[in-house]
Chain A
Amino acid sequence: MPDGPLIVQSDKTLLLEVDHPRAEEARRAIAPFAELERAPEHIHTYRVTPLGLWNARAAGHDAEQVVNALITFSRYAVPHALLVDVADTMDRYGRLTLEKDPEHGLVLRTTDRPVLEEVLRHKKIKPLIGERIDADRVIVHPSERGHLKQELLKVGWPAEDEAGYVDGEAHAIDLDNKDWSLRPYQQQAVDGFWHGGSGVVVLPCGAGKTLVGAGAMAVAKATTLILVTNTVSARQWRDELLKRTSLTDEEIGEYSGARKEIRPVTIATYQVLTTRRKGVYTHLDLLDARDWGLIIYDEVHLLPAPIFRMTADLQARRRLGLTATLVREDGREADVFSLIGPKRYDAPWKDIEAQGYIAPADCVEVRVTLPDADRLAYAVAEPEDRYRLSSCSPVKNPVVERIVAQHKGEPTLVIGQYLDQLAELSERLNADVITGETPVAQRQKLFQAFRVGEISLLVVSKVANFSIDLPEASVAIQVSGTFGSRQEEAQRLGRVLRPKGDGRTAHFYTVVSRDTVDAEFAAHRQRFLAEQGYAYRIVDADDVDATA
């Protein structure tokens, strides 16, 4: 019996024993086609999904390589059905190709006529397709390029998009490499994306996704539209671009609720694009305002549904998606695949952490016991109120105070969901609070003060979840969250994962009420952390002093 590091399960998960001498070799072999699901201490779990296999196909791997990797590294016999399934699934990719024909424009070509016949008869695909040219080709209207890809993926025959891209309006952009350079993995990500044409780069928070975007712009050397989650994040992109590239202030425009500038490089928020007046998206013109050569989607996993629909019409432009995780709480991973593109680069968090680019973290869950009166109130509360009731319990406040006191002087963030709770905490802790209602100018002032060390404690609501650069935050205390959102957990952890100047350990505390839904949701989020390889501890509130 061969003694490989990999165990292939019948449910298409792959278990990788990390302490095995050949584990790294095996990891490299399976990474192209399997998604890392969990990475706790001993055994990492990968999952083989059709999307993963098609990602691998898009990256130029074939079924034989996949099967070989499985057989070579597997400890036990690989279930035959799984091998057959892998070969079958991978074989489905590329039977249909979208390509440019000099005579007819965009055409869908097949190498397997029955497949073409099958999809042409599909009632959702029929309306997207034009005239039949010959047995192997049909005309596709360029405006249906995205929808067609979406539908084809749904019926299990993903099309390879080789129709190419418009170059867009050229614009000189260079990286300003005087005192820094792209890290090796960032360079690989840029190369991977450019080579593939369009697609998604998966990097952990704090691993420098903005720089990958800048790198991509420098390669494209064309006008660029950058879509980000909110205004603060837009400003941050702007600052970063000014610092890292040859772009000047006049070349970068902001298109948000406050300002509507259209410049060679325009940064727009999802929110402004999805604003509707009388059922009409009023700012759709932005997408056609210039001949964009590159569109960058920040935080792809948060991309709202209307943006997907708009993206379907932008298939001729190069698209770069940036994200920390492909997991979407709404399960629309397939749309990301078909509309933005396959995954072009992916690095497990732990690997990047091991390379020293993100700070190691110490995750602690602190459990508080509700006083009897609150337990009674909780027991009789309506189910929809229970989370609020348990997560906002005042019994958490002294605990938070104790933790803050413990880390006195270290830059600390207290993160919560409910404004009353945050207001109360800010009062008790004598700290400023930033919520969605805080004016942008005020926010930036506070962030700047926090950044330079004038203040070391901020209480923030979920506005802080995304894309604010708080480089010196080394302690995060979360008191309440959006139920059990794993994605939010990743974002919040990202707050403290930026590399620290002195290599300190980051601390991530979660304060939860025992025996309530708060603890249940926390368990959800923690599972995510443990799966990402962060060991966490659970301590009782009374033992908090012992955690320092």
Chain B
Amino acid sequence: MADDVRQRTDDELAALLRRRQDLARPAPADLSSLAARASTRASVQRAVDSLDLAHLQVLEAAVAATSPLDTTAVGTLLGVTPSEIEALLDDLWTLALLWGSPEGLRVTRTVVEVLPHPAGLGPRAADTFVDIPPTDTIPALLADAPAAARAILDRLTWGPPLAVLPPGTPERLATGARWLLEHHLVFSPSADQLVLPREVALALREGRSHAAPALQPPGLEGQTRAAAEVDAAAGQQVTDLLALVDELAAEWGLRPPRVLRSGGLAVRDLKRLASVLDVDEARAAFVAELTYAAGLLADDGSLDPSWAPTPAYDEWQQHPGDQRWAVLARAWLLTTRAPHLVGTTPAGASGTVNALGPDAHWPPARGLRRDVLDQLAAAPVGLAPDRARVGTALGWHRPRRVPASLDTVVAAVLGEAEWLGVTGRGAISSAGRALLAGRSDAELAAAMQPHLPEPIEHVLLQADLTAIAPGPLAGGLATFMRLVADVESRGGATVYRFNQDSVRRCLDAGWSVDQVLGALTDASHTPVPQPLDYLIRDVARRHGQARVGAMRAYIRCDDEATLGAMIADRELSPLQLRNIAPTILVSPVAAETVLDFLRENGFAPAAETPDGGIIVPTAGQHRTPLQRRPAPITAQAVDDELVTTMVGALRAGEEAAAYQREEVASRPGPSLPSTDPTTTLAVLRDAAADRQSVWLGYSDADGRVLRILFYPERVEGGRVHGTADGAARTLSIHRVTGAVQG
């Protein structure tokens, strides 16, 4: 193989490195090491995994065929003419999964390891040294086979070639298996296994390696949509999406949800978001994840963290719709987050996946998303392929890398692409194509721009206290309308409803009543309806009527002159006294300080409790509340009863100790001190070298220390091998408590 690699032209080597990029990192020193690396198992595995079904099937047929390869034979295995597979074989050679020997193409040896059962075929009979009947006699043999034997063969023929017949297999099957073994149609590598040799399988398959060779990619089928319709639908989705993102930001800007301790968004908050956006939870999760992926939303990083829009959102919001879309679309294409996982329960986990949480991060998402979109992009213009077809096509392109959840992923990607306007009514939109072609943001925006409705700068105000924007509103007006009214219905147009709460919200945000009415008059072609005008003025009438603030102390006094003197007193200026009613002053300074200051300056204030009572001063006589002390523990006196019991116990202990001493004395061999491992090792090594025995203290699996007379033979890897009681044993050194030469 090294020779083959050395003989490749520069272009061929470049192709190899391009297609198996792992070979180039780190750069191999020379061509021999390139060849060596190309045949490592990890690299070959990677190369085989990235093959499409056509290449994989040809490679499997090549592995099943005899070496060196005969193109005709490989073709026969696949049931095609040699010309159909030549290009594929050539490709496999470029990938260095095949190599050219002087006799012809051969399969790289590692490939055989990676594909142990190519196309579900078992090992060759010749390799496993078993006899099989001549292949041309097999059909005749099978004519006499019992039904059970046929059934077993039918199961094994198209692989996997291995059958397990556990004890307790029904007698009928066992008889069938016996018949097959007797006639050498299968062999049995162990007591309960049957293996179908490759030659027999091929004979049963009538010389074919694959039941369904698929050398051509499956076509996508589905409904065809007019290009204009596709782009219009995409535009409509984008309008919706941008409105949803704005609404999310408006909602979370006001009421940011908490970040869970494990990261992510609480299920309850997601539900609330879904109801605010008036979409289902899957879509709400998508909008949140997308906004997060685009950097428009983040954990605010505070001590009690919450999710809130970032400054990037404010900047983003100022751009026209097409540019805003470009930012979102690109973020989606590159993100490794998988919104469709939100709400599912991953295998082995107890809880569900939270939106914005660590579990919704799924690196394969990006690759799979790209693969799905590439399938769509490869389809004819305007084709909206069936979801199942996309799954099948994806399976053909990556047969060995199909995730178990392929259908879910395909459905999720197609759904998200639709929400994002990358597709419209299932077919890829022109802007979606631009996205996949890796165009610049400006080009992306330009592709989407014609399909988005022109932003408008007016609303229609109606007497039922609604305002209708018959199209997407320009940035500033949209923000104002969302502030002053609640969104009631969304789509091409937006319906806003004014109510007391929404108007109050606007006034709370610092707008004055004249500003609000002015802004509405400017935004509307018609005069502000009387009921709306009345509502706003009515809310404003009461807005701020009552004021709430926090202070740390108040001074009340029925004599206004005294209070006037306090405000005028310069010495009291550090108290920052303020008059909030003729008889009340307030101060942001603590009450004790205020008291002290006033007393120092000749006033005679009394302190007041929160419920208005007078605090009677207890100056100089501080008391602390009673503290509970633990009662002292006293010992009981030693009485007769205790003494009698104790003496009995002492006697019994003494007897036991004597017995133990006696037993130790009766043991064979010396007493065993505890020795440290280094010493133990030295003792054991010496004994092994001198072929002498040692007494060992050995702690067994139950923690008991056994005394063993041991004949060590060699010490290695932390173990000592030798014999004890005539049986070979291997002991771990770390379990030896002590060793003494015997």
Contacts and interface: CB of A to CB of B under 8 A. Distances in A.
A75 B491 CA distance: 11
B463 interface: yes
A381 B278 CA distance: 37
Nearest to A520: B500
Contacts of A77: 229, 232-233, 235-236, 492
Contacts of A75: 470-471, 492
Contacts of B531: 526, 530, 536-538
B232 to A, nearest CB: 4
Nearest to B531: A538
Nearest to A47: B489
Interface stretch (A3-11, A211-219, A282-290, A383-391): A3-11
B478 interface: no
B453 A11 contact: no
Given A11-B490, A15-B470, A76-B239, A42 B460 contact: yes
B463 A9 contact: no
Interface string A24-54: 0000000000000010111101000000000
A43 B233 CA distance: 24
B425 A80 contact: yes
Interface in A490-538: 515, 526-527, 530-531, 535-538
B492 A8 contact: yes
B639 interface: no
Contact of B464 (A40, A74, A537): A40
Given A77-B235, A79-B236, A80-B233, A9 B493 contact: yes
A484 B489 CA distance: 23
B352 interface: no
Interface string B633-647: 000000000000000
Contacts of B667: none
B174 interface: no
A17 interface: yes
Contacts of B235: 77
Contacts of A17: 470
Nearest to A41: B462
A258 interface: no
Contacts of A546: none
B466 interface: yes
A1 interface: yes
Interface residues of B, number: 32
Contacts of B47: none
Given A75-B492, A77-B236, A530 B463 contact: yes
A530 B465 contact: yes
A76 B453 contact: yes
B53 interface: no
Contact of A43 (B462, B490, B529, B530): B462
B542 interface: yes
A13 B235 CA distance: 19
B440 interface: no
Nearest to A83: B425
A42 B532 CA distance: 15
Contacts of B239: 76
A507 B474 CA distance: 41
A517 to B, nearest CB: 13
B463 A79 contact: no
Contacts of A15: 468, 470, 489, 493, 495
Nearest to A76: B492
Contacts of B542: 515
B526 interface: yes
A77 B229 CA distance: 8
B348 to A, nearest CB: 35
Interface of B: 229, 232-233, 235-236, 239-240, 278, 425, 453, 460-466, 468, 470-471, 489-493, 495, 526, 529-531, 534, 542
Given A43-B460, A77-B492, 11 more contacts: A8-B492, A10-B491, A11-B489, A13-B491, A40-B462, A43-B470, A74-B492, A79-B236, A79-B491, A530-B463, A537-B530
List the 8 shortest-distance A-B pairs measured between CB atoms, nearest first.
A530-B464, A9-B491, A76-B492, A77-B236, A40-B462, A77-B232, A7-B493, A42-B460
16 contacts: A7-B470, A7-B493, A13-B489, A40-B462, A40-B464, A42-B461, A45-B489, A75-B470, A75-B492, A76-B239, A76-B471, A77-B229, A78-B236, A79-B240, A530-B462, A535-B529
